[in-house]
A and B are shown apart, each in its own frame.
Chain A
Amino acid sequence: MASPFTYTARSSSSSSDYPLDDEHEALRSTVEEFARDVVAPRAAAMDEDGAFPYDIVGSMAKMGLFGLPFPEQYGGMGGDFFALCLAIEELARVDSSVAITLEAAVSLGAMPIYRFGSEEQRTEWLPRLASGETLGAFGLTEPGGGTDAGATRTRASVYDGQWVIDGTKAFITNAGTDITSVITVTAVTGESGGRKEISSLIVPVPSEGLSVAPKYSKVGWHASDTREVSLDGVRVPEQNLLGERGRGYANFLSILDEGRIAIAALAVGLAQGCVDESVKYAKQRTAFGQSIGNFQAIQFKIADMAMRAHTARLAYYDAAARMAAGLPFKTQAAMAKLHASEIAVTNAREATQIHGGYGFMNETPVARFWRDAKILEIGEGTSEVQRMLIARELGLG
């Protein structure tokens, strides 16, 4: 498809005035409408009861959101990664749980199979993941560590033509829904030169010996399904090795590089949602006989929030454009993720402040945004890891 960055007019009601090409703009406005009309009215209740919204995920599947970046031959929509990011941003403007469900299913669940899978693996797994009929998950992090790959304790060895996998994975998104069909896990498959050899293995759900714990009680992202996964002598066919043996961790790092652009989009959506809610509230709320939006103390806060959302959006657009053009984008993706997640936390804090006492009430959208924001500085590479990556690119350390 053509570059997404041709200059055409964009509707003034959108969150950004950045000119997108017609197809990306049509997708963005469609998801914006869906988020506003279908997701937003449900968000407070989903946050309250933490139930996974199967019907909303089903509607997203019908819209093709789970297949956005995959070719049609694998049941995809024939779009690109940037299209996925736009959809994630618009969902996150109203609800992060739904947005992360999409992000994790596509970028972490299906993408490794698309990027590193054999033709047989792609044909077997991608159509049902790209259609959104089932969800995929990726198990990298363990109770003992996420960033430190050397600490991986899950082990897998071949016996009688089957991989036998033992270990525990922590904080795995989409691991325990009724429609989860696959969890790809990293495991130590040997040792060479004193270093652990880490490989990726495709584990179908259900599998004997595979169990998921009850949902975690989380600070935010309440309606997203996050669980601990235990593998106790799980056996999968030898051909379920995903990608080259020993390349599991390296491959997953490259998945994380692009995943960071998607997380940045999610963070921008949350930051923009804070702007949307604050503008609405500032116009409606009165104090001292006038709307609080007349006070510069409030105006300046909201102006800064809008500026932060805008600049973070440009950062992820840039990383996505580089990726689409086949240019190196690792540093830009790290910067976009780092910046967007930090400004999301800042905007959520400021929006809560603007809402005063109501900002501390759970049913107020910005209170939910405030709880949903913090994880953005932790998941898919902490802010510290992003800074390490950027510093390394600058030739330091």
Chain B
Amino acid sequence: MKIVVCVKQVPDTWSEKRLDPADQTLDRAAADGVIDELDTYAVEEALKLKESLGDATVVVLAMGPAGAAESLRKALSMGADEAVHIVDDALHGSDALATSLVLAKAIEQIGYDLVLLGSESTDARMGVMAAMLAERLGVPQATLASGVAVDGTSLRVTRMTSAAQEEVAATLPAVVSVLEKINEPRYPSFKGIMAAKSKPTSTLSLADLGIDASSVGLAAAATKVLDSTARPPRGERTIIKDDGDAGARIADFLASRKLL
């Protein structure tokens, strides 16, 4: 059984995100890059499946600039077996359609029984990648998973939507996107960190995948961002938690502003 987990390098969740004014793409230099937190749940689910099935290989796959190797390394230190990094300057500015094209080609090339990924990325937040990948690969999809079980080639997924909890079944291969309630991702151990150094890692270019550079990147994007304006900063805030004296503290605050 081969599980491919798609991971994305995103700006640190706690940092301020900026668009590059020149081409309206994410300014990756403005913040530290980290593995998308939701994708760590997908990695954890793959590792748990591997542990329960015994005979499974977990391959982590990322598309992104050189820095994305950090996210792959983190997944390897958690326990994934191999990493594949798609890196090509022509990918800059790719939209979700182009990203899904590239990932699907790579997934086909790697070979897979199950594809796992987070239900959305914390930067773009489109939440469409699982559906697009399933369409391109021609396999079933189960999104918003809060539970995944595999028995032979049969897959059972618990889906949590805002309206209902569903139990769905499919035959592998399939694509599953996971929610954060599915598990608690492990912290890498030092042994895992050391072992990650010697695990197989490969890089793929567009040429390796047989993809024409003109079908990806900013120029090929189906939509164009024409302009953007930073959200005006929120006014200064003071959060007062009620420990019994919130009333007095609010009064002090108002008094300090000469409003009382």
Which of A's residues lie within 8 Å of B, judged by CB? 1, 11-13, 22-23, 26-27, 30, 33-34, 59, 62-65, 67-68, 72, 77-79, 83, 284, 286-287, 291, 363
Contacts and interface: CB of A to CB of B under 8 A. Distances in A.
A291 B194 CA distance: 44
Interface in B182-212: 186-194, 196-197
Nearest to B12: A13
Contacts of A286: 236, 238, 256
Contact of A78 (B32, B77, B186, B191): B191
28 contacts: A11-B32, A13-B32, A22-B197, A23-B190, A23-B193, A26-B73, A26-B74, A26-B196, A27-B193, A30-B77, A30-B187, A30-B193, A59-B187, A62-B186, A62-B189, A63-B190, A64-B190, A64-B191, A64-B192, A72-B191, A77-B189, A77-B194, A78-B194, A79-B190, A286-B236, A286-B238, A286-B256, A291-B236
Given A284-B238, A286-B256, A64 B189 contact: yes
A233 B191 CA distance: 42
B13 to A, nearest CB: 11
Query: What 4 A-B pairs come out closest when comparing CB atoms?
Result: A64-B189, A77-B190, A26-B193, A79-B190
Contact of A63 (B32, B73, B187, B238): B187
Interface in B52-106: 73-74, 77
Nearest to A1: B194
A126 to B, nearest CB: 15
Nearest to A68: B190
A26 B76 CA distance: 12
A31 to B, nearest CB: 8
A132 B73 CA distance: 25
A330 to B, nearest CB: 27
Contacts of B186: 62
Nearest to A36: B14
A64 B192 CA distance: 9
A62 B187 contact: yes
B219 to A, nearest CB: 32
Nearest to A34: B187
A21 B188 CA distance: 17
Interface in B108-162: none
A30 B188 contact: yes
A373 to B, nearest CB: 25
Residue in A23, A59, A62 whose Cβ sees the most chain B Cβ within 10 Å: A23
Contacts of B256: 286-287
A13 B32 CA distance: 8
Contacts of A11: 32
Contacts of A26: 73-74, 77, 188, 193, 196
A292 B256 CA distance: 14
Contacts of B191: 64, 72, 77-78
